[in-house]
């Protein structure tokens, strides 16, 4: 081997380590953003911005059985959000550390990115009172959602580059 091929391998190894570390960090970020999204829903309920029963029972008959069903659906959705973020984050961490090979998490991450982007409509659908007390909270929440989208997008791009580098190195 000549010096040029050693240099190429060193650059490839450096890039591979950088992308691997990026996958681990993005995976942790996805897990924390999942927890944040659940905390945000409970905070909106606690501060009176979201009335859960009014939201869930809009066009339905208000009976005790229907309320119990709606609470069960709400809990199932919260668990789904937490588990989806956890699965995507855990798989990214495992791929980044070289412990496992996963591909389903990329599809789920793309689905999560789609859901996050379609969720931006809530910020632009109603009038915003610039001088109101909720404006600061809305702006902060918007910025957190943008950061969440950036993290998911970074995870997807890093994963694609990671698998491309593995293919170039002949490890896959």
- Which residue did the predictor score with more confidence, 149 or 8? 149
Q: Domain for residue 12, yes or no? A: no
Q: Domain for residue 142, yes or no? A: yes
Return mean pLDDT, the chain: 83
Instruction: Please compute, for residue 16, the number of CA atoms within 13 A of its CA located in the half-sphere on the CB side.
Output: 18
3-state secondary structure of 25: helix
- Which residue did the predictor score with more confidence, 88 or 130? 88
- Which residue did the predictor score with more confidence, 128 or 90? 90
Q: Domain for residue 6, yes or no? A: no
Domain extent for 86: 21-169
How many distinct structural domains can be found in the chain?
A: 1
Q: Domain for residue 43, yes or no? A: yes
Question: What is the average per-residue pLDDT within 46-70?
Answer: 72
Q: Domain for residue 118, yes or no? A: yes
Q: Domain for residue 107, yes or no? A: yes
Do residues 155 and 27 touch, judged by C-beta distance below 8 A?
yes
């Amino acid at each position: 081997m000549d010096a040029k091929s050693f240099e190429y391998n060193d650059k490839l190894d450096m890039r591979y380590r950088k992308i691997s570390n990026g996958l681990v960090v993005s995976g942790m970020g996805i897990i924390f953003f999942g927890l944040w999204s659940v905390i945000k829903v409970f905070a909106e309920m606690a501060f009176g911005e979201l009335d859960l029963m009014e939201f869930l029972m809009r066009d339905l008959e208000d009976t005790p059985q229907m309320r119990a069903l709606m609470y069960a659906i709400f809990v199932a959705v919260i668990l789904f959000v937490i588990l989806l973020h956890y699965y995507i984050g855990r798989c990214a961490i495992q791929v980044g550390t070289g412990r496992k090979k996963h591909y389903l998490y990329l599809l789920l991450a793309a689905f999560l990115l789609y859901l996050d982007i379609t969720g931006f409509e809530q910020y632009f659908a109603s009038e915003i009172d610039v001088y109101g007390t909720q404006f600061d909270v809305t702006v902060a929440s918007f910025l957190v959602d943008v950061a969440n989208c950036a993290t998911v997008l970074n995870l997807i791009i890093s994963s694609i580059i990671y698998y491309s580098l593995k293919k170039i190195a002949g490890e896959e």
